[in-house]
Structure 1
Amino acid sequence: MDERKRESIVAYLRRRMAEFEIEPEDIATSIAADQERLQAVRFRDASGNTWDGKGVPPQWVVQAISAGQSLEHFAIDGASNRDPGKRTGADWRNDPFAGTRLATVSAESVGAA
């Protein structure tokens, strides 16, 4: 990003913060709380619903378990040690099918039912 564009964005943010009486400390506190909340998450589903594993399980956990899914299926590996900016999920770097026909063929073209 060029310096002029960056300065323009910073000026805009400062004006908006002044308009809503937001102090930089308020933002720092909010970011710290968000990071703490994200580090506490132990379970996540495909829709982005999360649960820290404490207290009464939320409805999405109850429904998944009732449908036969295991709680471990939703576990986030190393939740307390993960980088808050990094997305969790599959590591495709070691995909054995990368670059092969299996990686590019859709289910419809194979005739899957």
Structure 2
Amino acid sequence: MDERKRDSIVAYLRRRMAEFGIELDDVATAIAQDHLDEKSARYRSATGETWSGKGEMPRWLKQAISAGQSLEHFAVSDKLQQVPGAAKAGVNWSQDPFAGSRLATVHTSTIETR
């Protein structure tokens, strides 16, 4: 992102924050809460959606389970929580109901043409 575009976005955000009475401390608190929520996640989807295991089960998890996936498939291991961005080595793909189907098949010719 070039410097002018960045400065423009920062100015816009400052105007909107002033308009709604949002302080930097409010933003910092929200970010800290997001980090706490991320650490408390017990289940995570491939797209990064999380669920702590408390309250109503989210739609993405209900849909995956109704499609035949197990709840354990989405469990977050302790190692992955401690190392952000780590590969999902704790996922057991041998129990994937889509393994061997067209949904799990990747053709290199398709990837190269994109």
TM-score past 0.5 threshold: yes
Q: Give 1:80's aligned residue.
A: 81
Shift of 1:2: 2.3
Number of residue pairs aligned between Structure 1 and Structure 2: 91
The amino acid that maps onto 1:58 is M
Question: Which consecutive unaligned segments of at least 5 residues does structure 1 have?
Answer: 91-101, 107-113
Deviates more, 1:42-51 or 1:2-11: 42-51
After TM superposition, the score normalised by the length of structure 1 is: 0.57
2:57 aligned with 1:58: yes
2: CA distance between counterparts of 1:5 and 1:49? 29
Alpha carbons of structure 1 residues 89 and 105: separation in structure 2 relative to 1, 3 Å: farther
Aligned residue for 1:76, secondary structure, equals: coil
TM-score, length-scaled by structure 2: 0.57
If you compute each CA radius of gyration, which structure gives the higher value, 1 or 2? 1
The structure-2 alpha-carbon separation of the partners of 1:37 and 1:49, relative to structure 1 and needing over 3 Å to count, comes to same
- Coordinate RMSD, CA, aligned: 3.4
Matching of residues 1-113 of structure 1 within 5 Å: 1-45=1-45, 50-53=50-53, 55=54, 58=57, 60=61, 64=65, 69-77=69-77, 78-83=79-84, 86=85, 89=88, 103-104=107-108
Higher relative CO (CA 8 A, sep ≥ 6), structure 1 or 2?
1
Q: CA deviation at 1:43?
A: 1.0
CA distance in 2: counterparts of 1:6 and 1:68, whole angstroms = 45
